[in-house]
Amino acid sequence: MKRTLVVCALVSAWMVAMQHDPAVAETPLGLPTVVHPSDNAPSDAKIALGKQLYFDARLSVDDKVSCASCHDPKKGWSNGEATASGVGGQRGGRSAPTVLNTTYQRFQFWDGRADTLEQQALGPIANPIEMNLPIDAAVKKLSAIEGYQKQFQAVFGSPVSAEGIGKAIAAFERTVLSGNAPYDKYKINKDESALSDSAKQGMKLFFGKANCSACHVGPNFTDNGFHNLGVGMKAEKPDLGRFEITKLEGDRGSFKTPSLRDIARSAPYMHDGSLATLEDVVEHYSKGGIANDYLDEEIFTLKLSGEDKAALVTFLNEGLSSSTYPDVSAPELP
């Protein structure tokens, strides 16, 4: 009886708190309005539930790994390591993509195998080297937690379900936005003081000689496409990326273009985490990537000077770092 009263009190407090937390926060400067799926409209309660699930390690087989383990707000919504680490310390071959602005991404995962955030949310839970908890088992596990029973009923009008888990986590992730950077203030508000002279020079290079904007374009600084940069192609058995999904020859070694918003927070870089710093990334592009039969046509030797490279890094660091970074803390769990 005592435990039931405690659970009820927690759920009641959660519901009251949600009444004062707007479901759709103001979109940061520089970003387009978030578009929500017609079958997954946001609500305060749904976003709060998704936030709990995102931080809840009970969605892993050993109760030790959560979504936030690999996509940590304190580490650029990535994990600060070259590759992702799952249950039992298992390692995948790819880095953990940031969750920042992933709502604007046309495809999810480095190889684009998921079309929606709802689909993406369930993938790591069941993946044997990530959270290793079959979705049916995850549903059963959450169904045994009284607080979650009540929240799913309140949000979806039904018991805990795989669909509900995916929708709730996706609804939360659509609130993780990075905008309102010095670049936005300079470009939109015409604030000349928002960028230093070095950052302005880097911006000019970014959209000009350095050719960065050929792929890193638009308000989210990505074309939502897939490109071969040569990274990892010299390995004995290279990761073929998008090719494994499409089986199109031209997609060999191609990976999704990441957003550059708050890029300074999510080192190391590239799909395999092989480049430790932004200086390394700029150098990779300056030399024209790594030659292979499928190298993207937009990758070629740039012959950037040392001053050019430094200015580009300044623009990426200073110009694209959000003034309102979503440094979210873990919520209380039921």
Q: How sure is the predictor about 23, in pLDDT bands with cuts at 50, 70 and 90?
A: low
Least confident of 80-89, 151-160, 274-283: 80-89
Q: What pLDDT, on the 0 to 100 scale, is given for residue 24?
A: 56
Mean pLDDT of 155-178: 98
Q: Residue 16: is its pLDDT beyond 90?
A: no
Mean pLDDT of 268-279: 98
Q: What pLDDT, on the 0 to 100 scale, is given for residue 260?
A: 98
Q: Residue 111: is its pLDDT beyond 80?
A: yes
Q: What pLDDT, on the 0 to 100 scale, is given for residue 26?
A: 83
Mean pLDDT of 267-280: 98
Average pLDDT, whole number, for the chain? Answer: 93
Mean pLDDT of 253-281: 98
Q: Residue 302: is its pLDDT beyond 60?
A: yes
Mean pLDDT of 287-305: 97
Domains of the chain: 9-173 (1.10.760.10), 182-319 (1.10.760.10)
Q: What pLDDT, on the 0 to 100 scale, is given for residue 25?
A: 65
Q: Residue 1: is its pLDDT beyond 60?
A: no
Cα gap 24→148, rounded to integer Å = 23
Q: Residue 31: is its pLDDT beyond 90?
A: yes
Q: How sure is the predictor about 35, in pLDDT bands with cuts at 50, 70 and 90?
A: very high
Mean pLDDT of 198-226: 98
Q: Residue 22: is its pLDDT beyond 50?
A: no
Long-range contacts at 49-52 (CB < 8 A, ≥ 24 apart): 49/151, 49/152, 49/155, 49/168, 49/172, 50/167, 50/168, 50/169, 50/170, 50/171, 50/172, 50/173, 51/172, 51/328, 51/331, 52/151, 52/331, 52/333, 52/334
Q: How sure is the predictor about 86, in pLDDT bands with cuts at 50, 70 and 90?
A: very high
For 78, the token pair is 């990535």
- Each residue of 216-226: pLDDT tens digit? 999 999 999 99
Q: How sure is the predictor about 81, in pLDDT bands with cuts at 50, 70 and 90?
A: very high
Residue 138's identity, in one-letter code, is A
Q: Residue 199: is its pLDDT beyond 80?
A: yes
Q: Residue 253: is its pLDDT beyond 70?
A: yes
Cα gap 272→96, rounded to integer Å = 9
Cα gap 71→80, rounded to integer Å = 9
Q: Residue 15: is its pLDDT beyond 80?
A: no
SS (H, E, C) the chain: CHHHHHHHHHHHHHHHHHCCCCCCCCCCCCCCCCCCCCCCCCCHHHHHHHHHHHHCHHHCCCCCCCHHHHCEHHHCCECCCCCCECHHHCECCCCCCCCCCHHHCCCECCCCCECCHHHHHHHHHHCCCCCCCCHHHHHHHHHCCHHHHHHHHHHHCCCCCHHHHHHHHHHHHCCCCCCCCHHHHHHCCCCHHHCCHHHHHHHHHHCCCCCHHHCCCCCCCCCCCEECCCCCCCCCCCCCECHHHHCCHHHCCEEECCCCCCHHHCCCECCCCCECCHHHHHHHHHCCCCCCCCCCCCCCCCCCCHHHHHHHHHHHHHHCCCCCCCCCCCCCCC
Mean pLDDT of 183-196: 98
